[in-house]
Amino acid sequence: MDQLAEILQTATGITCHSEDVSPGDIFVAIRGRSDDGNKYASQAARCGASAIVTDTNEKLSDIGIPVYYVANARAACAWLASEFYKHPSKELSLVGVTGTNGKTTVVSMLEQMYRTAGLCAGMIGTVSVNLGGYSLPSKLTTPDSISLQHFLRQMRERSVTHAAMEVSAQGMELNRVDHVKFACGILTNVCPDHLDFHGDFASYLAAKRLFPSFLAGAPLIINAADPECRAIAQSYGGPIITAGVNMAADISIQVLRTSRRGSIFRLRVNRPINGLEAYEQALRTLRLSAPGFHNVENAMLASIAALLQGVSPAAIARALASFGGVERRFKVCEHNECIVIDDTALNPGSIDAVFETIRQFRYNRMVVVNAIRGCRGPAINSANALTLLRWQRNFPFTLIITASYDQTTFADQVSHQEKNAFLSELDRSQVNYLYTDTLSEAILTAQATTRPGDLLLLIGAQGMDHGFSLLTSPKLPLTVVPAAFAVNGRDGSDSLSFT
């Protein structure tokens, strides 16, 4: 790294995108899954790059600027970024949150707790990046290492002292969080997801197991109810805090009451924990405005991290009582005398959480509109279909499936293999369902199907992002446009009863 340190002294910036190169920048050529940054080394040089950093085995000739060969370009990029931006995470109280589900809600809860306590707070997550009074849309759950270090530096320039960020499995595996200092870490839960990137659950789990290595002795808070979380924690040599709802743990939650409007629970510290001595054996009754057992778990984990960062129990209580939830995370409203729930449920664990919470609702009938996940592979879609089938066996509902071709970009388009993986599971079970190519058709069908007192559930990732807005749009006709629906075998020959 000595040679790289030398070129940093005169560098004006760092980028791994050739179109963003400015004179004096260091261009890091990264080999991705679909493209190779080394192809653009000459272009970067023409744009004024001062040097190229690469891990290619091939010699880059006729570039006209220095080329530095490293063992791992992504790792070098993370080091360069942290050095260029002068290690901003060391100046922050930064909490890292990983897990399959709950990351976005936990970091949002933490940000609200910080703000309620009068702290200047920042957040980096799936939905948005908050730099301290200035927010921008998020492109990745965990940004690339250059963007991440830049965001953290901007936070400090805006006087942010406390922040929370989502740490994805891909982010860890691709070195995005290298050289980031965490004040503590949270592990929410682990279930199959992102199998398109990792290949199988074992590989995905291996990536999640990297998390403790980034904590460097900082406390690790885990959901004690999750067996994979417990297994990951066993490899950590630093302080571990177990947390559980209605179970034995270092810090436990006793749920007193739960309903569609939220939950009331008590938090208890059951053993001496550094930083929480004042709360040992203390009981604190908290009210959470967001419904669902999974949100009680999220609130538990966020509360413990906030306590460790010096937030008072009173501020935590106020924050949870006023927490309005996160966009498309079990958002509940009423439309045309029906209960409408919109959730980004995108894997078996999050689908389970949604249906578990719906048990608390009273309604006449339920209609489910599910968007197939695009560009995420057949395996996760097969698993999602099987999860829906498991719930439908004992929890009857009318099922509408859509590929949302009219609402997704190329990056999220459902492939034939993904569609077939999902629908084949339904066909094998011989359940009745409707399939539409477009989300608009699916929403129109749901409108024609529901009656006053029914519950309409909109679930899915990017393919359902516009579902609620279509439902409430005055421009959407209230009659079903004739279309070829898939019904129990996809040939449209069987009739579907909504009674």
Whether 187 and 288 share a structural domain: yes
Burial class (CB in 10 A: 0-12, 13-18, 19+), 337: exposed
CA-wise closest residue to 222 among 244, 195, 245, 196: 244
CATH number at residue 34: 3.40.1390.10
The one-character DSSP state at 47 is: T
pTM of the model: 0.90
Q: What is the CATH number of the domain that holds 266?
A: 3.40.1190.10
Find where tokens 């998390």 sit. 211
pLDDT score of 150: 98
Quickly count: other Cβ atoms within 10 Å of residue 477's Cβ: 10
- Tell me the sheet residues that pair with 399: 368
With a CB cutoff of 8 Å and minimum separation 6, the contacts of 7 are: 26, 50, 51, 66, 68
Long-range Cβ pairs for the range 351-355 (8 Å, 24+): 351/384, 351/387, 351/388, 351/391, 351/459, 352/387, 352/391, 353/101, 353/292, 353/293, 353/294, 354/330, 354/457, 354/459, 355/391, 355/395
Same domain, 174 and 313: yes
In angstroms, how far is the first alpha carbon of the chain from the final one? 69
Residue 174 CB-density burial (10 A; 0-12 exposed, 13-18 middle, 19+ buried) = buried
**Same domain, yes or no: 235 and 251:** yes
Q: Which residues contact 291 (CB under 8 A, 6 or more apart)?
A: 258, 259, 260, 261, 262, 263, 330, 332, 357, 360
- Report which secondary-structure segment, H or E, holds 449: helix 439-449
Please give the pLDDT value at position 280.
Answer: 66
Number of domains in the chain: 3
Same domain membership, residue 118 and residue 75: no
Q: How far is CA 373 from the centre of its chain?
A: 15
Residues sharing a CB contact under 8 Å with residue 488, sequence separation 6 or more, in sequence order: 427, 430, 431, 432, 433, 494, 496
Residues 252 and 195: their CA atoms lie apart, in Å, by 33
For residue 468, give the CATH number of its domain: 3.90.190.20
Cβ atoms within 10 Å of 238's Cβ, excluding its own: 14
Which of 58, 20, 59 is CA-nearest to residue 28? 20
Helix axes 378-394, 416-429, angle to 10 degrees: 30
- Domain that residue 96 falls in: 88-322
Q: What is the pLDDT of residue 197?
A: 80
Full 3-state SS string of 62-105: CCCCCEEECCCHHHHHHHHHHHHCCCHHHHCEEEEEECCCCHHH
Residue 401 pLDDT = 98
Q: Let me know if residue 392 belongs to a domain.
A: yes
Boundary residue ending a domain (84, 106, 124): 84
Query: What was the pLDDT predicted at 79?
Result: 97
Paired with 29 in beta bridges are: 54
Return the axis-axis angle of helices 293-308 and 313-322, rounded to nearest 10°: 150
Q: Are 360 and 282 within one domain?
A: no
Mean pLDDT (10-residue bins), the chain, 499 residues: 86 95 96 90 95 91 90 97 98 97 97 97 96 91 96 98 97 97 97 82 93 97 97 96 96 92 92 81 83 95 96 94 92 94 95 94 97 94 96 94 96 96 97 96 96 97 96 66 41 35
The tokens describing 295, both together, are 């949100």
Q: Answer whether residue 481 is part of any domain.
A: no
Q: Tell me the C-alpha distance between 189 and 102, whole Å.
A: 8
Please check whether residues 193 and 307 belong to one and the same domain. Answer: yes
Q: What integer pLDDT is reported at residue 313 of this predicted model?
A: 92
Domain end among 322, 344, 365: 322
